[in-house]
Amino acid sequence: MKINIPKNALPVIGILIILILMDLFAPQPIDWTRNFNEDDKRPFGCFLLRELIEQELFPEQEFEISRDAIFNYPVLDSLAPNKNYIFVTDDFSPQAWEIKLLLDLVQNGNQIVIATSNLGKVFSDTIHVQFDTEFKFTDLGAKEVQFQNFENPNLKDKNNSKYPKAFDNTTINKFYKDSLIVLGRDNKKRIQLVKVPYGKGNFFISSQPLAFTNFNIVQNKNADYIAGIFSYLPPNPIVWDEYYKPLRAFRSTSPIAFLLSSPPLKMAYYLLLACLILVLIFQGKRKQKMIPILKPIPNTTLEFIKTMGRLYYNRKNHKDIALKKIKYLKEFCKTRYHIDLTTDTLNEVSKRSGISLKTLEILFKQVNQISNSNNISNEELEDLNAKVEYIYKSGK
């Protein structure tokens, strides 16, 4: 099929193709979205943290991913093995009924690690730990390098863990001294990591969730700091939370969302839409030859019958016509009444057709006369035709 593209559309198509190629081959900007997802390899994802936990820190323990809210957790079983629950997000604000479940988990001996830059007020008041976020105008410019380290001399690193870029100005500043244990501080002696004992278990609260992301784990020896935090946990199965994430409200499992989540698939999807639009524009009206109007074939049956009638009439062969009518009459009786029309079956034909026996005897007597004669007159043919038509019309 020939494609006719208007000349004034060629520059538009050329520019569109150039823009698509530029977008395809141009370097992609770094996505600094805070998502903290376990399978995300972007700077603020937690793909490396999951690998570190599964392969090095707890290689022999089961790693479970929870995509449910706390109130949908399984019912506590005193015989079930204790677990280590890990929450890494920028805002952890569970509701009151969820906090009760968390407390029950810890009281039974489970360990809960929470790394967040914002602790919900209800939960903060419950465990008596409050965060403070310092904002300075100097933060709008280049940030100074931040450090973190442990209070425990066995874990303390002489060189500290350095965070040149991804670091929140969030610290733990209000708490009951008798209700928690300080585990780590930054280079300004501000508290960043605490342990809150409760029942048989503990809460481990960190105010620096970015320290657990891909970007910071690969910086310097920051992976050692993460390993130090998890060294406080017993060798129990791991439950990684994927529900309390900052982008949970925008998460979708639709095919379109999956396509748009990957830059190559996103570009392929847009390119397909552009091609479909061009096809609709330039080939929306399909060109083809006009279909000729064909006249229907005329019904010549009536003309054929008239021609045959004139042929027989002109030849004056009345007996031949009479024999054909007799033949058709016998075929009619055989088809409708399922019986052969003979001298011996007239009584049976009368019963089945409802025609009087006398009428059939008269007709059949005339049939025998015609069959035995050499020729018949026009009047005899007409008389036979009238009797045959009566049989057709009067029979049941």
pLDDT digits (tens, 9 = 90+) for 350-393: 888 888 888 888 888 888 888 888 888 878 878 888 888 888 88
pLDDT digits (tens, 9 = 90+) for 311-348: 666 666 777 777 888 888 888 888 888 888 787 888 88
Q: Which residue type does 205 have? A: I
pLDDT digits (tens, 9 = 90+) for 139-154: 444 467 788 889 988 8
Instruction: Give ∠ CA 198-81-98 in degrees, rounded to 5.
Output: 50
- Of 8, 184, 191, 205, nearest to 88 by C-alpha is 205
Residue with tokens 């698509």: 20
Q: How far apart are CA 98 and CA 86, in angstroms?
A: 15
> Does the structure show a pLDDT above 90 at 112?
yes
Q: 48-57, 220-229, 329-338: which has the highest mean pLDDT? A: 48-57
pLDDT digits (tens, 9 = 90+) for 180-219: 899 999 888 889 999 999 999 999 999 999 999 999 898 8
What is the model's pTM? 0.60
Backbone region of residue 153 per phi and psi (left: phi > 0; alpha: psi in -120 to 50; beta: other values): alpha
The residue with greater pLDDT, 365 or 238, is 238
Separation in Å, CA 110 to CA 47, 86, 105, 193, 234: 24, 11, 6, 18, 9
Averaged pLDDT of the chain: 82
Q: How far apart are CA 127 and CA 114, in angstroms?
A: 12
Question: What pLDDT was estimated at residue 282?
Answer: 67
